Amino acid sequence: MKDTSREFGDALANALGEGPGRRALAAQRATLLLRWSAQQARPRRAPWIGAGLGVAAVCAALLFTLWRPTPEVAPVTWRGAPIAEHELLHVEDVPGRLEFANGSHIELQAETSAALGRREGRVELSLQRGRLDADVQREPGTEWFVAAGPYRVRVIGTRFSVAWHPDAEAFAVEVSRGEVRVLGEELPAEGVAVRAGARWERSGPAVAHSDAASPLEDALVTDSAPSEEEPRVEEGSAEGAAEGSAAPVAKASVGSPSSKEGAPSSTKPPAWRALTAEGRYGEALAAVSAAEFDEMLARAPAGDLLELGNTARFAGHPDRARRAYTSLRSRYPRAAEARLAAFALARLAADVDRDPSRAIHWLRVFLGESPSGDLAASARARLMDTLASQGRQKEAAEVARDYLRHHPEGPHAGIARGLLGSSP
Amino acid sequence: MRSVPTAHRPGGAPPARTSGARSASVDDDRLALQRRANADLVDQVLQDPRAGLAAMHDRFARDVNRLVWRLMGADADHDDLVQQVFFRILTSVHRLRDPERLEAWVRAVTVNTVRAELRRRSLRRLLWWQIPETNVHGDLAREVEARDLVYRSLEVLEKLPAQERIVFGLVHLEDLTLPEVAEACGFSLMTAKRRLAAARRRIEALVRTRPDLLERLRAGRGISS
């Protein structure tokens, strides 16, 4: 079997193809000659002018670097583009980065959902699930928080990561520089300090969360930050728990802010999830018997169903994947995971079933439910392309317009414009 | 599709000798013609740069375009980069001592231009603290799956240092041998080997963290025809 890097190279070479076609090369030749002629016609500067301009440019760059004005928290960008307040940020596989004007950045890792809330003097990220790595620059007058389940991390200029898996109610914070303070209802009023090199984690019994996405759904329509201007760290963390999906249920005593060994014993995730986490999808799916699979379809929380569907899809079992996604959508129609299931169903219809009509249906469902999320640009591009390939030019042009309205600088913008140019 | 000069492959079958003096003579004639054509082309550029530029483009457009296309990943600035390559060729061809080596020299100029661009972008990222969006050229396959595969793959490639990315691209996208890569990049064979190994290690690790990409690579899906 070929190694991964070779497979990667072969697939990329095939996808890229040979480059621009003959007509494009002819146009390129004409442009090249025109520019050459224009360049020759331009009067030449004395060499010292060029040198002087170069020195001036270097000085300007140095001045800009050294005398950069005091940075502000706003604006913030997600993957290089501005984001709306409380917009659901979801990363399926490729990590995405939130960047702040003051140099702080937060990277959401694979299978992570979060929403950002900001108000004067306060930045708060609500982590619904998954893991984030943050590098926050200390800034007078601005407080930074990460809310995850029943916990809230108060940031004090630092580099750290937070992980939250609601299904196992597993929370972990690891600090590589500086210090953070973990607040939670069952923790001391002042919270627990976690310093550089330390990790603090907590696992509890599974939370009965019939609507796993509801906290974030709420965060989309209400300000996730508490109403007080000042974070009431000293007064305990009842407000900190407000982001949680339910009242904190961890019964263990306050965890040691040091090592894994010191933390209370955790409820081990099932074998299939561990295998999935290692990328062994076939084995993960084999670890779930047919009866267990049916049982999960009937009882598992939204996050598990999405993960189960993805595992089946990656393992090459589209039927089981489809069942998991369908069950997820019927049992948790309002959950964020249900939207992702719609996108996954569209992909199955397009990639596996080669059924463009069904793919179009699911893409429309996904865009109806998540018109501005992380995957919306990709969904619009797919929809535009599928409609065009079906000869439905008018509808494709409609989607192209929609694409340009939402993602004017998106990677498919050129194609959308081309489609609009060629549509009747 | 890809340029695979099999006769240069290390370990490849040695050239047949049994065809005798006639085939050797044909090869010699061909080489002599090639050398003459290269020398004429260089002369033309030196005598009449505009006509020389057109002739250079006619001769090398396909190779230069394919190389830039693959090393940069169907970049939105593709045409500007190709233009830079041809302008560099024009302004430095007088330094070419051996016209016989014109093809290798053009390839080296192309690789240097791409390398400079990749470095410029990484410096820009560093100075301005921003990650530019991955934009691709409008000529990239219209098929969504192929484009998505390219985007995801570029996200992996963009995490590689410029030198490693180029070595990986020359070997795995352009099928060059390591000696050819070393010549194009201007470093030793050992360095080429070391950089290729480092690039492979990084790519393996990066692809492992992207199960969706790995899935597509394994299934061979998302590849345009």
Which residues have a Cβ under 8 Å from the Cβ of A175 and sit 6 or more positions away? A158, A159, A160, A194, A195, A196, A197, A198, A199
What's the CA gap between A185 and A285, in Å, rounded? 37
Q: Is A182 exposed, middle or buried (0-12, 13-18, 19+ CB in 10 A)?
A: buried
Predicted confidence at residue B58, as pLDDT, reads 93
- Residue A390 CB partners (closer than 8 Å, separation 6+): A356, A357, A360
- pLDDT 10s digits, B200-220: 999 988 888 877 777 776 665
Q: Among partner residues A4, A79, A382, which is closest to B204 by beta-carbon distance?
A: A4
Six-digit token pair at A38? 């224009």
Lowest mean pLDDT of A391-400, B24-33, B67-76, B202-211, name the range.
Answer: B24-33
Query: Which range (A26-40, A262-276, B5-19) has the least confidence?
Result: B5-19
Helix-helix angle A336-347:A318-331, to 10 degrees: 150
In the predicted model, is pLDDT for residue B146 greater than 60? yes
pTM (2 d.p.): 0.43
Q: Check if the beta carbon of residue A336 is closer than 8 Å to that of residue A113.
A: yes
What does the pLDDT read at residue B198? 94
Contact present, A198 and A180 (Cβ < 8 Å) = no
Of B172, B211, B220, the CB nearest to A5: B172
Tell me whether residues B221 and A351 touch, CB distance under 8 A: yes
The encoded tokens of residue A151 equal 């916990």
Nearest one of A411, A352, A336 to A381, comparing CA atoms: A411
- Res. A338: pLDDT tops 50: yes
Model confidence at B14, in pLDDT bands (50, 70, 90)?
A: very low
Nearest to A80 among B78, B130, B207 (CB): B130
Instruction: Give the pLDDT band of residue B136 (cuts 50, 70, 90).
Output: low
Model confidence at B28, in pLDDT bands (50, 70, 90)? confident
Instruction: For residues A184 and A235, give the distance between their C-alpha atoms in angstroms, rounded to a whole number.
Output: 11
Of residues B108 and A25, more confidence is placed in B108
Residue A133, beta-bridge partner list: A107, A161
Which of A228-237, A331-340, B49-58 is predicted most confidently?
A: B49-58
Give me the pLDDT at residue B69, please. Answer: 93
- Has residue B193 got a pLDDT over 60? yes
A144-180 confidence digits (pLDDT tens): 888 887 678 888 778 899 988 776 678 889 888 888 8
The upper half-sphere exposure of residue B29, i.e. CA atoms within 13 Å in the direction of its Cβ, equals: 6
Lowest mean pLDDT among A380-389, B30-39, B117-126: B117-126
Average pLDDT over residues A370-395: 83
pLDDT value for A392: 86
What does the mean pLDDT of chain B come to? 79
Chain B residues near residue A94 by CB distance under 8 angstroms: 152, 155, 210
- What's the pLDDT score for residue A422? 60
Q: How many CB atoms lie within 10 A of CB A186?
A: 19
What's the pLDDT at A362?
92
What pLDDT is recorded for position A254?
A: 30
Which residues on chain A are in Cβ contact (under 8 Å) with B79? Answer: 20, 28, 31
Q: How far apart are CA B195 and CA B172, in angstroms?
A: 13
Instruction: Report CB contact under 8 Å: A28, B74.
Output: no
Nearest to A12 among B66, B150, B219 (CB): B150
Closest CA in chain B for residue A377: B148
β-bridge mates for residue A108, sequence order: A96, A132
Environment class of A33 (CB within 10 Å of its CB; exposed 0-12, middle 13-18, buried 19+): middle
A222, HSE (Cβ side, Cα atoms, 13 Å): 11
User: Please, are residues A353 and A70 in contact by the beta-carbon 8 Å criterion?
Assistant: no
Q: Does B124 score more than 70 pLDDT?
A: no
Contact B50 A409 (CB under 8 A): no
Q: Give B-chain residues touching A9 at CB under 8 angstroms.
A: 168, 171-173
Can you tell me which residue has the tokens 């990409």? B213
Q: Which residues of B touch A36 (CB under 8 A)?
A: 49-50, 53, 87, 90
Query: In terms of CA atoms, which chain A residue is nearest residue B202?
Result: A5
For A75, A249, A398, the CA distances from B126, given in Å and listed in that order, are 19, 44, 39
Q: Which residue has the higher pLDDT, A103 or B4?
A: A103
- Looking at per-residue pLDDT, the higher value among A304 and B76 belongs to A304
Residue A322 has pLDDT above 50, yes or no: yes
CB contact under 8 A, B210 and A93: yes
Predicted pLDDT at A369: 87
pLDDT attached to residue A261: 34
Give the whole-number percent of chain B exceeding pLDDT 70.
Answer: 74
Which of A3, A33, A103 is nearest residue B129 as measured by Cβ atoms?
A103
pLDDT confidence bin for A59, thresholds 50/70/90: low
Across A62-84, average pLDDT: 57
Alpha helices per DSSP H over A86-223: 214-221
Q: Does B91 touch chain A (CB under 8 A)?
A: no
Contact A19 B172 (CB under 8 A): no
Q: State which H helix or E strand residue A119 sits in.
A: strand A112-119
pLDDT the model gives residue B202: 92
Per-residue CA distances from B61 to A22, A38, A213 (Å): 10, 21, 54
pLDDT tens readout for residues A259-295? 333 333 344 567 888 887 766 778 888 999 888 898 8
Q: pLDDT by residue (tens digit) across A200-238? A: 888 764 332 223 222 222 222 222 233 333 322 222 333
Note whether A20 contacts B130, CB cutoff 8 Å.
no
Residue type, A222: T
Under an 8 A CB cutoff, do A24 and B139 touch? yes
Instruction: State what percent of residues in chain A have pLDDT above 70.
Output: 70
Q: Is A107 exposed, middle or buried (0-12, 13-18, 19+ CB in 10 A)?
A: middle
The answer to whether B101 and B107 are in contact (CB under 8 A) is no
Angle at the Cα of A222 from the Cα atoms of A216 and A225, rounded to 5 degrees = 85
Tell the burial category of B31 from Cβ atoms under 10 Å away from its Cβ (0-12, 13-18, 19+). Answer: exposed
Give the chain B residue nearest A40 (alpha carbons): B50
Tell me which amino acid residue A188 is.
Answer: P
The span from the CA of A190 to the CA of A192, in Å, is: 7
Residue B223: pLDDT band (50, 70, 90) is very low
Mean pLDDT of chain A: 72
pLDDT for the residue B34: 79
Q: Give the pLDDT of residue B10.
A: 33
CB < 8 Å to A396, chain B = none
Pairing between strand A122-135 and A143-148?
parallel
Distance CA A30, CA B58 (A): 11
Structure tokens, B203: 């790519």
Residues 66-125 in A contacting B (C-alpha not used; CB under 8 Å): 77, 79-81, 92-94, 97, 99, 103, 110
Domains detected in chain B: 25-138 (1.10.1740.10), 141-225 (1.10.10.10)
User: Is the pLDDT assigned to residue A52 strictly greater than 80?
Assistant: no
The pLDDT value recorded for residue A220 is 26
| H-helix segments, A332-412 | 336-347, 356-369, 376-389, 393-406
Tokens matching residue B2? 């890809």
Of B82, B130, B153, Cβ closest to residue A8 = B153
Share of chain A above pLDDT 90, in %: 7
Of B78, B131, B168, the CB nearest to A97: B131
Q: What is the pLDDT of residue A406?
A: 86
Domains in chain A, please, with CATH? 76-243 (2.60.120.1440), 271-422 (1.25.40.10)
| Pure H helices in A99-234 | 214-221
* Residue B135, pLDDT score: 54
pLDDT at residue A44, as a whole number: 55
Residue B223 has its nearest CB partner, among A15, A99, A316, at A15
- Cα(first)–Cα(last) distance of chain A, in Å? 49
Mean per-residue pLDDT, A413-417 = 79
B-chain residue closest to A418, CA distance: B138
Query: Does residue A325 or residue A148 have the better pLDDT?
Result: A325
Tell me if chain B has a CB within 8 Å of the CB of A140.
no
Q: Check whether A258 has a pLDDT greater than 50.
A: no
Distance from CA of B19 to the nearest CA of A (A): 35
CB pairs under 8 A between A and B: 182
The closest CB to that of A8, out of B62, B207, B215, belongs to: B207
Q: Do the beta carbons of residue A369 and residue A334 sit within 8 Å?
A: no
Average pLDDT over residues A122-144: 82
Hey, are the CB atoms on B58 and A29 less than 8 Å from each other? yes
Q: So what's the pLDDT on residue B191?
A: 93
Read off the pLDDT of residues B147-180 as tens digits, 9 standing for 90 and up.
Answer: 777 878 888 898 898 999 999 999 999 899 999 9
Name residues whose C-beta falls within 8 Å of residue B73's C-beta, 6 or more positions apart in sequence. Answer: A12, A16, B134, B136, B150, B153, B154, B157
Quick check: B57 pLDDT over 90?
yes
Helix, coil or strand: residue A415: helix
All residues at 6 or more sequence positions from B66 whose CB lies less than 8 Å from its CB, including other chains: A18, A19, B174
User: Mutate which of A16, A281, A375 to disrupt the B interface (most B C-beta within 10 Å)?
Assistant: A16
User: How far is Cα A266 from Cα A201, in angstroms, rounded to an integer?
Assistant: 9
**d(Cα A407, Cα A401) in Å, to the nearest integer?**
10
Residue tagged 């509890």 (tokens): A204
Contact A8 B219 (CB under 8 A): no
Instruction: Report the pLDDT value the prediction gives residue B53, as an integer from 0 to 100.
Output: 92
Q: Which residue has the tokens 């690789």?
A: B111
B128 part of contact set with chain A, CB < 8 Å: no
What letter represents residue B189's amino acid? Answer: L
Mean pLDDT of all residues in A376-400? 86
